[in-house]
Structure 1
């Protein structure tokens, strides 16, 4: 029975796949590279032994990066456009709002101004504030443009999308600047007029989800998921090549253990995650949630050695993760709060039990993620293999008749978001799906 562990710990399937997918190059939503990565993923799942490996296409808002800059004084400062920023050139007084907390926006008149905020939040603040939330505080205040300043050293401007499901292209030009450029802007030109320039091509595009299955053809299924797309400025190794490599490695291990599965395991590698969870939202819109037993979403795995499981208040998921970790003597951490920022969420928001699986890095915020530094050299094959063993065992347990977890009413999820002070931010960025 334990021979699969040795084979998984010495397997090259996931790592070879990871090298292949990062070497494709640009995997931005709707790009040829994203399509090529989807096809490689489909073929890898089929080779692992999963059946009915296929692509499912859907329409998306296309956005292709052009040049961008900030003109300040007699200088031109480096920046990168945030995906789905509108194209344009705007002038305005530069105002640095520090962390960009809600109170920072309330205390300042930002109408017509170029607003700069940091990518992190202070340690004393009780929750994380997503980039898009800060952006839409700027939009709500009638700012002229939005500048997103990285908190990570190394001359690394951050990327990350703006826009909403209803209006996928943002309202005002948005750029990312490195910590060093941001400090220079604040020191030399705060209170002065600056010009933000964004060039981008906006058109219609197509993305795709990858599907395959293992185990009995039951009406209920366990979803094992990741996302294929990545920001175009880097290899997307950590975000989220490693997550899809994990799905491939788990498919190889689960194929060996297929006779142990009591419930179908449905692998899904989503497209278009980085621009608003478009791929998972598409699947959720055509899926009967009653047929989903649980979701195991891999987004941020293998960046560090210790796994973290956001369990969204499902005690049974928390218990299952610890039971498997204890079985293998492997440390993990669980987070019981809601996590509305990856491909599990279009399902979990309606009460479907689901994990968001990541790993501890010791970094504040995304670390190397969403920057030029998201490259393969930051990862280790050991971590991918070790975590694949743990997650494979967890998937088998979730698929067993022994494990049951009740779906929640959507009102329970909404109440939890209110209690965790996440609702206000979700409402301002158009991500609040519940009736008031």
Structure 2
């Protein structure tokens, strides 16, 4: 056991791939950079000795950034368009909807330009996703949406809008920094402002990387991540670090002394940031009973303590705790549902799945979805330590007896109890 751990703690396989991905630059879904990242990940898996490493392509709604702005009586205000915002402009009175809690949208918002924060207050018992705030504003009759960062530093946040049925959102949407948003509200609340977005929306192609290691069994443990990132930054934490961890775990599993009892299928998705397009497609195409369990790496390396969402599958939490105890490393195990990222289309079909991320210092994405999501925020040691834990968990799940599925009724009941269902219905993401 200690041999592969020592090798992982000195390996540069994952870190080298992390550098490779961030140096590509723009990895927006459907872009040339995303295709380069998919190909590089396929080649890296093949070089490690994974079987049948290949990329399978699929069509997506493309989105190419142009200019954007919030025009006020004082002039144009700096902003960035949110991906899958429609091109166009809308004028209305500026209304501050604060933290964007459901009750905040009960005001008169017909024809308004709505400003909301990217976070929620500590007293509120759940995180409210950007898309939920956007579609609550749409439902209330807003003409445009301004997403204000809650973190200081002059960093405008990004993040997509749109739904599966309508990939382009219905109203223009932009992100602004905390500083710009605060100034907008202070100077212009109640006044007429115009939100303008210029973009192109061509047909585009994304893809999924697949490869296998271990014996050729009917049931497999899936080890997953996404390779795409928003076009404004390197996407180091979100999610080059997740794909780099998958590479490091693959290397470690191949180097372990003990043979795997089941096949491990490595799947690295494209188009996660625009509605989980790659993973939804994959989940629809496979037999859920062919998946022993799924381990999805998204947002790792932000901090040294990994956060594991188990979605009510007790056996998954037990496996994580057992591995953490054996290697003497703290973990955070959360039994709740987390209906965002590439594990979710599988959980929604009753497949046992873990989301692996990192505990951060604040509520929200930290540097994620801003221009500051860059390599300098990460450390080799953190990636290596995380890879050791993920390797142990994947191996344990491969060796375990069949893990019981959960019914979709039970998962839906969890979402209702955790106050997540109403938001998913608002965004068109309710799958039941």
Fold equivalence (TM over 0.5): yes
1:200 corresponding residue in structure 2:
199
1:81 Cα deviation after fit? 0.3
- 1:52-82 CA distances to partner (integer Å, 9 max, x unpaired)? 0000111100001111000111321100000
Q: Which runs of 5 or more residues in structure 2 are unaligned?
A: none
The residue correspondences of 1:7-22 to structure 2 (distance < 5 A) are 7-22=7-22
Alignment match, 2:423: 425
User: How big is the shift at 1:259?
Assistant: 5.1
SS in 2 for 1:312: coil
CA distance in 2, matches of 1:268, 1:14: 16
1:124-273 aligned at under 5 Å gives the runs 124-257=123-256, 260-273=259-272
Q: Which residue of 2 aligns with 1:296?
A: 295
Cα deviation for residue 6 of structure 1 reads 1.1
CA distance in 2, matches of 1:257, 1:243: 21
User: What is the aligned partner in structure 2 of residue 373 from structure 1?
Assistant: 372
> Deviation string for 1:343-386 (max 9, x for gaps)?
00001011100000001121220010000000000000000011
Match of 1:105 in 2: 105
SS state at 2:194 partner? strand
- C-alpha distance in structure 2 between counterparts of 1:135 and 1:338, whole Å: 21
CA drift at 1:165? 0.5
Aligned partners of 2:402 and 2:310: how far apart in 1? 15
* DSSP-derived class of the 1:21 partner: helix
SS in 2 for 1:262: coil
Question: d(CA) in 2 for partners of 1:214 and 1:235?
Answer: 29
Aligned to 1:86: 86
Distance 1:142 1:397 in 2: 50
CA distance in 2, matches of 1:2, 1:415: 42
CA deviations on 1:286-338 (whole Å, 9 max, x unpaired) are 11111001000000111100101000011111111000000001000111110
Asked if the contact 1:297–1:355 (Cα under 8 Å) also holds between the matched residues in 2, the reply is yes
State yes or no: 1:48 paired with 2:48.
yes
Unaligned runs of at least 5 residues, structure 1: none
Name the CA distance, whole Å, in 1 between partners of 2:258 and 2:280.
32
Q: Secondary structure at the match of 1:399?
A: helix
How far 1:258 sits from its partner (Å)?
7.5
How do 1:32-43 residues align onto structure 2 when only pairs under 5 Å count? 32-43=32-43
Instruction: Provide the residue aligned with 1:405 in structure 2.
Output: 403
| Deviation larger for 3-12 or 175-184 | 3-12
Whole-angstrom distance in 1 between the partners of 2:258 and 2:167: 44
Partner of residue 364, structure 1:
363
Q: How far apart, in 2, do the equivalents of 1:15 and 1:99 lie?
A: 37
1:209·1:268 contact (CA, 8 Å) conserved in 2? yes
Secondary structure of the structure 2 residue equivalent to 1:20: helix
Separation of aligned partners in 2, 1:259 and 1:333: 27
Q: Please, what TM-score do these two structures have when normalized by structure 1?
A: 0.98
TM superposition shift of 1:414: 0.5
Per the TM alignment, residue 256 of structure 1 is displaced from its structure 2 partner at its CA by 1.4
Contact 1:215/1:259 (<8 A) preserved: no
RMSD, aligned CA: 0.8
